[in-house]
Amino acid sequence: MPVDATPEPIRFGQRVQILRTRRGMSRPVLAGLLGKSPSWLKQIETGQIQVPKLPTILRIAEALRVRDLADLTGDQSMAIELFIGPGHSSLPAVKAAIDTFPLVADRQAPSAQHLLHRLAKAWSARHTAPNHREVIGALLPALIRDAQLSVRQADTAVARRAAQATLAEVYFLAQFFCAYQPDSALLWRVAERGMVAAQDSEDPHAIGVAAWLAAQAHRDSGPAHFEAADMVVHEALRYLEPHLNAGPEPVLAISGALQHEAGYTAARRGDTATAWSWWDKASKAAKKLDPGYFHPITSFGPAIMGAHAVTIAVELRAGGESVRQAVRADRTAIPSRPRLARHRIEEARGYQLDGQPEVALDTLDRAHAAAPETIRYNGYARRIILEETEARSPERRQKASELAVKVGLLAA
C-alpha cells in the first residue's frame, strides 16, 4: 500500500520567487530595490546561498509588500504583520454599515446641510486626533447609513446628484479608515462604491478624489497594477482639465494631488525623470492655491509639497536627496497630525537609506508623538523598527525596542 509522502516545505528562496512573480516584479528590479545584484537574488531564490539575516529579510518583505512576515519566511513564529495594521475595534460596525443596504426606510434622512456638517467635523477630527481611526470609526456607521438613506429619498435629479456626492465623500472617509486593516476586500469594495457614487454625482471634485484613492489602491497592489494606477490618474486629469480655469480651489487641488500620484507611481517604477517631472507639475498647481490652503481629503496644498518631495526621493531609493528634501520640508508646518506622522515616517526611511539609522529612529519617535495610530499601521515604520532591534549598537537596539513596545510589535 502506498504511503502518503509528506510534502517538502517551501524554501525561503522559492517563497521570494513566488511572491516576486505574483507582484509582477522582475529579478533585476527587486535586486535593485534591495541594493543587490540580480545574480545574488538568483542565488537566494535557487537556494545556492543561505537565508539572509533579518535586516535583509525585512527589506525583501518591504519591497514585495509582504503583509505577514511568515508568508515570506514560512516560520509561523515570525507571524508579524508588516503592511497591515491591527484590526480596529470599530471595523465590524463599519463593515456592517458598508455591507448592509436596507430597502425599507422607517425614518426621514437628515438634511443635506446636516450631513455635510457632520462630514466636515469628521474630516477635522481625522486631522487633529492622534488616533483618528478611533474617532472616525465611531462616526462612520451612522454617516454611511444616513448618506445612503439620503440618496434613496432624494426627490429630484439635482438633489440625487448632490446626495451621491455626499455619499461618495463618506466612502472616501471610510477608505481612510479601512486602509491597512485586515480586510483588503472591504477596502476595494469601499473604493469601488466611492467611484460609482462619485460618477453618479457628476461632480468633478468627487470624481477626482475617487480616482485619487483608486490609484493608490492599484499602486499598493504591486507593480503588476502600476499601469492601472496610471490609467486612472491620466483619465481623471483629462476629465478635470476643462474645469480648471474657472474651477474652485478643491478642484484645482485634486488635480494637483493626482499629478503627485502619477509622480509617486513613476518613482515606484524607478523612473526618476518622470517622477520629478510630475512633482514639478503638482508644485505649480499648489502655487495657484491660497498659501494656507489644505485639501481636507488629500492633504494637498502648498504646505505638503516638501513632504511629497521626500516621498518621491525615498521611493527612488535616493538617500542623500531624501535627506536634503527632508531638511527643506521641515521649514513648513503640516496642519494634520496623521499626515505629519506619515511625513516623519518618510523622513525616517530617507535617513535610513542615507546610512543614518540613529536619526531614523529619532524621527520615528517624532512620528509616534504626532499620531501614534499612524505609525502602528505603517509597514515601513514597522520594518525599520524591527530591523534596528537587531542592530549591533546597544543604544540603537534599546531605542528600537522601546519603539517596538510603543507601536505594539513587542510586549512591554
Determine the pLDDT at residue 1.
Answer: 43
Can you tell me the distance from the alpha carbon of 259 to that of 276, in angstroms, rounded to the nearest whole number?
11
**Does the pLDDT at position 77 exceed 60?**
no
Determine the pLDDT at residue 82.
Answer: 55
Of 351, 374, 376, nearest in space to 362 by CA: 351
Average pLDDT over residues 3-26: 74
Instruction: Kindly report, residue by residue over 224-239, the tens digit of the pLDDT.
Output: 889 999 999 999 999 9
Determine the pLDDT at residue 165.
Answer: 97
Longest CA–CA separation in the chain, Å: 81
Instruction: Kindly report, residue by residue over 143-173, the tens digit of the pLDDT.
Output: 999 999 999 999 999 999 999 999 999 999 9
Determine the pLDDT at residue 140.
Answer: 95
Can you tell me the distance from the alpha carbon of 195 to that of 250, in angstroms, rounded to the nearest whole number?
17
**Does the pLDDT at position 78 exceed 90?**
no
Sign of CA dihedral 364, 365, 369, 371: positive
Average pLDDT over residues 376-402: 88
**Neighbour count for residue 356 (Cβ, 10 Å):** 16
Cβ–Cβ < 8 Å for 208, 254: yes
**Does the pLDDT at position 191 exceed 60?**
yes
Instruction: Kindly report, residue by residue over 116-148, the tens digit of the pLDDT.
Output: 999 999 999 999 988 888 999 999 999 999 999
- Mean pLDDT across the chain, nearest whole number? 88
State the SS3 of the chain.
CCCCCCCCCCCHHHHHHHHHHHCCCCHHHHHHHHCCCHHHHHHHHCCCCCCCCHHHHHHHHHHCCCCEHHHHHCCHHHCCECCCCCCCCCHHHHHHHHHCCCCCCCCCCCCHHHHHHHHHHHHHHHHHCCCHHHHHHHHHHHHHHHHHHHHHHCCCHHHHHHHHHHHHHHHHHHHHHHCCCCCHHHHHHHHHHHHHHHHHHCCHHHHHHHHHHHHHHHHHCCHHHHHHHHHHHHHHHHHHHHHCCCCCHHHHHHHHHHHHHHHHHHHHHCCHHHHHHHHHHHHHHHHCCCCCCCCCCCCCCHHHHHHHHHHHHHHCCCHHHHHHHHHHHCCCCCCCHHHHHHHHHHHHHHHHHCCCHHHHHHHHHHHHHHCHHHHHCCHHHHHHHHHHCCCCCHHHHHHHHHHHHHCCCCCC
Determine the pLDDT at residue 190.
Answer: 93
Can you tell me the distance from the alpha carbon of 57 to that of 54, in angstroms, rounded to the nearest whole number?
5
Minimum mean pLDDT among 185-189, 239-243, 283-287, 304-308: which range?
185-189
Geometric angle at alpha carbon 401, from 344 and 369, rounded to 5°: 35
Average pLDDT over residues 345-356: 94
Q: Where are the domains of the chain?
A: 12-78, 88-200
**Does the pLDDT at position 7 exceed 50?**
yes
CATH topology of domain 12-78: 434 Repressor (Amino-terminal Domain) (1.10.260)
Q: Nine-digit cell at 16?
A: 521570494
pTM listed for this prediction: 0.82
The burial class, CB within 10 Å (0-12 / 13-18 / 19+), for 368 is buried
Determine the pLDDT at residue 16.
Answer: 86
Determine the pLDDT at residue 284.
Answer: 96
Determine the pLDDT at residue 75.
Answer: 67
